[in-house]
Chains A and B, each alone.
Chain A
Amino acid sequence: MIPAAFDYVRAASADEALAVLAEHGEDAKLMAGGHSLIPLMKFRLVTPGVIVDVGGLNGDLRGISVDGDTVRIGALTRHSELEHSAELRDACPMLAHVASLVGDPAVRHRGTIGGSLAHADPASDLPAAAIALKATLVARGPNGEREIGIDDFFTGFLESALAPDELLTEIRVPVSTGGWAYEKFNRRAQDWAIVAAAVADGGNGVALVNMGSTPLRAAGVEAAVASGASASDAAAAAADGTSPPTDNNGDAEYRSHLARVLTGRALAAASG
């Protein structure tokens, strides 16, 4: 629980952060709220040489605005800000709700949406919500900005499409006030989900937490809903094509069962 030694740079601007990343390459690691990275460092599972702390940056990188049909969220917006934003609750209530279920209050006051997505933990809440909501992510690198569709973003266990020299700057989700639900199954309030199911837009977007090495879109469920299947029939496809992990909380079979149960409940709630 004691991290290895590292150098620390507190970036004064996004450009400075990008410059440090460019200089150190994969030896550098961005830190926003630190609530995913620091535990890994304390277990010495990761030992970055340079920490680039972007947690103090504000401006465009932090805040929520609604722009026509699009909600723009700065990557450094904290979970507690998502949770309590009246604007977000109106424009995309599911995201505000999911943010309220991340960790505990201390985590939500430090953790950021960009940090959570960039960390790409299949057991985290916000990545699955972003998939269900069909988010678009904006990354800035040495060659300027680019957009990454959420379905192209999660590439492996704790791996994303972000290059080592890129900074995630913004999350764009469509205004989404159709039927939604988030069924999170865990043991204690602050824990990661054993499995969770996110349903947005009346079943148009469905995603699963902790059912594989990345957060997953439940494409089979979405297709079934689109073809008019009932909630329970559509949910039967929830675990199809997944490779859920086995750990102390459950094996693949139990997780598959939970995925079907939770997806069924979420679809029913979203259409209710």
Chain B
Amino acid sequence: MTAVEDAPTTAGIGHRMLRKEDAKLVTGEAKFVDDIKAPGQLWMGMVRSTMAHATIGSIDTSEAEAMPGVHAVYTGEQLAELGLWAAPLPCAWPVTEDMVNPPHNPVAVGEAKHVGDILAVVLAETRYGAADAAEQVIVDYEPLGAVTSIEDAMADDVMAHADLTTNKAFHWPLDPNPEATAAAFENAAHVVKARFIQQRLIPTPMEPRGVLAIPSPAGGEVTLYSATQVPHILKVMIAATTGIPESKIRVIAPAVGGGFGGKLNVDADAILSVTLANHLGRPVRWTETRSEAAGSSHQGRGQIQHMEAAADADGKVTAVKVHLDADMGAYMMLITPGVPLLGSFLYTGVYDIPNLSFSCDGWFTNMTPTDAYRGAGRPEASYAIERVMDMVAGEVGITPEEVRARNYINGGEFFENHEAASTLIFDSGHYRPAHDKALEMADVAGLRAEQARRREAGEKVQLGIGMCTYVEICGLAPSRALGGLNYGAGGWEHATVRMLPTGKVEVVSGSTPHGQGHETAWSQIIATKMGISPDDVTVLHSDTATSPLGLDTYGSRSLAVGGVAIAMAADKVIDKAKQIAAHQFEASADDIVFEEGAFSVAGTPARSVHIQELGFAAFAAHDLPDGMEPNLQEQVNFDPPNFAFPFGTHVAVVEVDEETGNVELIDYTAVDDCGNQVNPLIVEGQVHGGIVQGAAQALYEVAIYDDQGQITNPSLMDYLVPSAAEMPSIQVESTVTPSTSNPLGVKGVGEAGTIGSAAAVINAVCDALSPHGITDMEMPATPWRVRRAIEAAEGGGS
């Protein structure tokens, strides 16, 4: 394990190095998919269903086809006849043997299942021409009843798919010890029950989705540029879905402007662009608009959570029962059914709760499919247990911090390898220091005094303080664990490290950045390992031709899996270089020491050779040890033995204007522990963004569907992504408890902020409103909703 304090302070692990990527990004030199042009390109324009559920009668494409610049128009039926795809769009996570998974064609055939479902595709010379022509395609709809909420789906009166007899897609239980759970509830002094709604969210990366497929008619190859988080997975899935040999497919993710899970899917646009480019022999491209994204980019969350907690008289929680009703939307996308289950293991939080009983029903609706969104299942779990802990505190009559202190694993003291009720092994934790630090930084004692003063004075603007002590599962994932969950792939990551003849280092990473700063972090790891400058490191990634192996970026896995693979590959390069150094020194490799990039014989530091000098020796191969292959190039495919479990304590402070119902987040403190940190600057950036995204769920964001299944806020004018102006200055600190799951002791931090903040903010809102007897507040806590709750509590109208 590399301890942070041992790292060089100038450039390597632990240094707040400015990001290498940023110069290209801020000067506009970086190329996103939409910046890349191909001669002869055609634009796709999607004809999308305007109805949530309908039988598709005739589709009249004649007017669109006659428009200038229109090359072709295809309906789903025509494309199916052309045989352009070999299988429906994939779901890689059939969570149960009997999961229902109706076919999901890239272009619907016969039945539209949600607003935004693609019914026909136009190919035109220009983007505007494609949009104009798509508008001229006349679709004959015969409306069917639409399922527009989870409750509708559960009623099972109306079917989301006309040929199904139930909307239930699966039932998935996790109930290690039902008798013990039942006994815990029987013996409980307090039982808290709650129902929480995890509203649908739209991922909204800065860069929308986009594709450009370039065929090679003579050679049969096709190159897909895609704004994707998962070029490697996409390549495999394109092969499986289209029947094109995998060896003929190259996927490139150029500069990608965020994803938040929204770009880890195998969407219709990718399949259509590849197959149509091959079919027509011309490049085919598409860039989505924001309104299009609202109805076609998969959405996050979409759950109803039924929670029950049993506690003893002192507030020690003895069991948690959870049932989820999860909204799949109209189709199973790549990992749709697995997302709610990713949270199943976290419903006991950071607490020593011996019993967990979990089940989840997945339901089809006529809304946009759901899938991963930052945190994917884990923010939901964290929210539910953290809200419930506050409710237990209220029942028992103790403070939120006290109920947590009484329930922490190992009393909040340091532990390693703790088996939770879910049967997962938490790698390491030390919860009390983060807790204490956060409360002190936020000055909770002072805030409580101010809160008491305002309550006493009956002021219009009341104060609320909320905390959240979260744990998450990162570093997805041990391949065996994924196999146990019936996930269709592994969770390893690939790295190659090669020293070039000139002593510069090339790193090939299977982990695919879309804003995280991989090039910087990977360079820092190499700098520390090899004792060289991070400027001497180049990272190759996101192109299946230069980086053929990889499992990409999601689930806070890049560092804890991909970064570790790089460190391990660097170790192998150093080992080989050490053999060469020993050979040059005519010494035994066992006697060679490696310090700050230089090899020397132990005890005689005056004679040394720098590892960068050995690059040429290995390349020239004039004088290598007998039997040694030339070149310094090593690879590792790292499959982690366990997940990593980062944690932290967040404190949110809100002001609630009781007259208007407005909630303002006025202060936020986060003390996170993601193990060893490679670049604290990047860690803080991730924490900041994550907190804002979770606070956005708490206060602002929701995809609102009406009872016809129309999304009523499809633009960024109405879908309220908060800006810096709505957020307080965030105080960020950290503690360091190294992971035992990997040799770097790192845990992952991409989702932590989001996992902690929604609960902290809503706990604060409920705290502010508690004098009214209000104990819960649905997300987002809009002014209208808060004001109605106050009025209801006051028993009158406004």
Residues of A within 8 A of B (CB): 1-2, 4-5, 39, 43-44, 185, 187-191, 194, 248-251, 253-254, 256-258, 261-262
Determine which of A43, A185, A248, A256 lies in contact with B713 in the assembled complex, contact meaning CB atoms within 8 Å: A248
> Do A185 and B660 contact each other (CB < 8 Å), given the known contacts A249-B782, A253-B797, A254-B787?
yes
CB <8 Å contact, A2 and B289 = yes
B700 touching A249, Cβ below 8 Å: no
Residues B132 and A5 in contact, CB atoms below 8 Å apart: yes
Residue contact A257 to B720, C-beta cutoff 8 Å:
no
Q: Are A248 and B291 in contact (CB under 8 A)?
A: no
B289 shortest CB reach to chain A, Å: 4
Tell whether, in the assembled complex, residue B725 and residue A189 are in contact, meaning their CB atoms are under 8 Å apart.
yes
Is the pair A256, B798 in contact by a Cβ cutoff of 8 Å? yes
Within 8 A of A (CB), among B742-798: 782-784, 787-788, 797-798
**Chain B 57-84 per-residue mask, 1 if CB under 8 angstroms from chain A, else 0:** 0000000000000000000000000000
16 A/B residue pairs, CB under 8 Å, sorted by A: A1-B289, A1-B291, A4-B132, A185-B783, A187-B782, A188-B720, A188-B723, A189-B725, A248-B713, A250-B783, A250-B784, A251-B784, A256-B798, A257-B787, A261-B660, A262-B660
The answer to whether B712 has its CB under 8 Å from any CB of chain A is yes
6 extra A-B contacts, CB within 8 A, seeds A185-B783, A190-B723: A1-B292, A5-B128, A44-B135, A187-B782, A253-B798, A262-B660
Chain B residues near A44 (CB, 8 Å)? 135
Query: B218 an interface residue at 8 Å Cβ cutoff?
Result: no
Residues of A within 8 A of B291 (CB): 1, 43
Task: Determine the distance from Cα of A201 to Cα of B797 in the docked complex, in whole angstroms.
Answer: 32
Q: Which residues does chain A contribute within 8 Å of B723, judged by CB atoms? A: 188-190
B-chain residues with CB within 8 Å of residue A251 when the two chains form the complex: 784
Mask: chain B, 716-747; 1 = CB below 8 Å from A; 0 = not:
01101011011000000000000000000000
- Contact with B131, one of A2, A188, A189 (Cβ below 8 angstroms): A2
User: Distance in Å from the Cβ of B298 to the closest Cβ of chain A?
Assistant: 19
For the complex, give the distance between the alpha carbons of A188 and B787 in Å: 18
Find B290's partner among A1, A254, A257 (CB 8 Å cutoff): A1
Give 1 or 0 for each of B686-730: 1 = CB within 8 Å of chain A CB. Answer: 000000000000001000100000001101011010110110000
Cα A53 to Cα B704 in complex, Å, equals 36
Residues of B within 8 Å of A194, CB to CB, are 783
Taking CB atoms, residues of chain A closer than 8 Å to B788 are 254
Chain A residues whose C-beta falls within 8 Å of the C-beta of B700 in the assembled complex: 187-188
Whether B713 and A188, one on each chain, are in contact in the complex, defined by CB atoms closer than 8 angstroms, is: no
0 or 1 for each of B169-184: is its CB under 8 Å from A? (1 = yes): 0000000000000000
Q: How far is the CA of A251 from the CA of B132 in the complex (A)?
A: 36
Q: Which B residues are CB-close (under 8 A) to A39?
A: 717
Residues of A within 8 A of B292 (CB): 1
Nearest chain-B residue to A260 (Cβ)? B798
Report which of A2, A4, A254 forms a contact with B798, defined as CB distance below 8 A: A254
B720 touches A187 (CB 8 A): yes
Within 8 A of A (CB), among B264-304: 289-292
Q: How far is the CB of B765 from chain A (nearest CB, A)?
A: 15
Give the residues in chain B near A256, CB-CB below 8 Å.
Answer: 798
CA of A257 to CA of B700 in the docked complex: distance in angstroms?
21
B392 CB to nearest chain A CB (Å): 32
Which residues in B have their C-beta under 8 angstroms from that of A261?
Answer: 659-660
Chain A CB within 8 A of B662 CB: yes
Interface pairs A-B: 3 shortest CB-CB: A1-B289, A257-B798, A189-B725
B127 at interface (Cβ–Cβ under 8 A)? yes
Contact with A along B614-639 (1 / 0, CB 8 A): 00000000000000000000000000
Complex Cα distance, B712 from A39, in Å, reads 16
Cα A5 to Cα B132 with chains together (Å)? 8
Which residues on the B side are within 8 Å of A189 (C-beta)?
723, 725-726
| Cβ A2 vs Cβ B127 within 8 A | yes
Task: Give the residues in chain A near B704, CB-CB below 8 Å.
Answer: 248
Q: Is the CB of A185 within 8 A of B797?
A: no
Choose one: B128, B718, B720, B784; the contact of A254 (CB below 8 Å). B784
Rounded to whole angstroms, the CA-CA distance of A262 and B128 in the bound complex is 44
Residue among B128, B713, B784 with the most chain A CB within 10 A? B784
Contacts of A191 in B (CB 8 A): 717, 720
Residues in A neighbouring B782, C-beta threshold 8 A: 187, 249
Contacts of A187 in B (CB 8 A): 700, 720, 726, 782-783
With a CB–CB cut-off of 8 A, which chain A residues contact B783? 185, 187, 194, 249-250
| B726 and A188 within 8 A (CB) | yes
Min C-beta distance of A79 to chain B, whole Å = 17
Closest to A192 in B: B717
Closest-CB distance, B708 to chain A (whole angstroms): 15
A117 to chain B, nearest CB (A): 20
For residue A186, give the distance in angstroms from its CB to the closest CB of chain B. 10
Q: Tell whether, in the assembled complex, residue A258 and residue B660 are in contact, meaning their CB atoms are under 8 Å apart.
A: yes
Contacts of B726 in A (CB 8 A): 187-189
Instruction: Report the minimum CB–CB distance from B734 to chain A (whole Å).
Output: 30
Contact (A188, B725) CB under 8 Å given A194-B783, A249-B782, A249-B784 = yes
**Bound state CA distance, A189 and B725, in angstroms?**
6
A258–B291 Cα distance when bound, in Å, is: 30
Note all chain A residues with C-beta closer than 8 A to B717. 39, 191
Nearest residue (CB) in B for A2 is B131
A2 x B128 contact (CB < 8 A): yes
Inter-chain CA distance A250–B785, complex, in Å, is: 9
Residues of B within 8 A of A254 (CB): 784, 787-788, 798
How many Å lie between the Cα of A185 and that of B290 in the bound state? 26
CA distance A257 to B662 in the complex (A): 13
- Residues of B contacting A248 with CB < 8 Å? 704, 712-713, 718
Among A187, A189, A249, chain B packs the most CB atoms within 10 A around the CB of A187
Contact A185 B662 (CB under 8 A): yes
In the assembled complex, the CB of B199 is this many whole angstroms from the nearest CB of chain A, namely 12
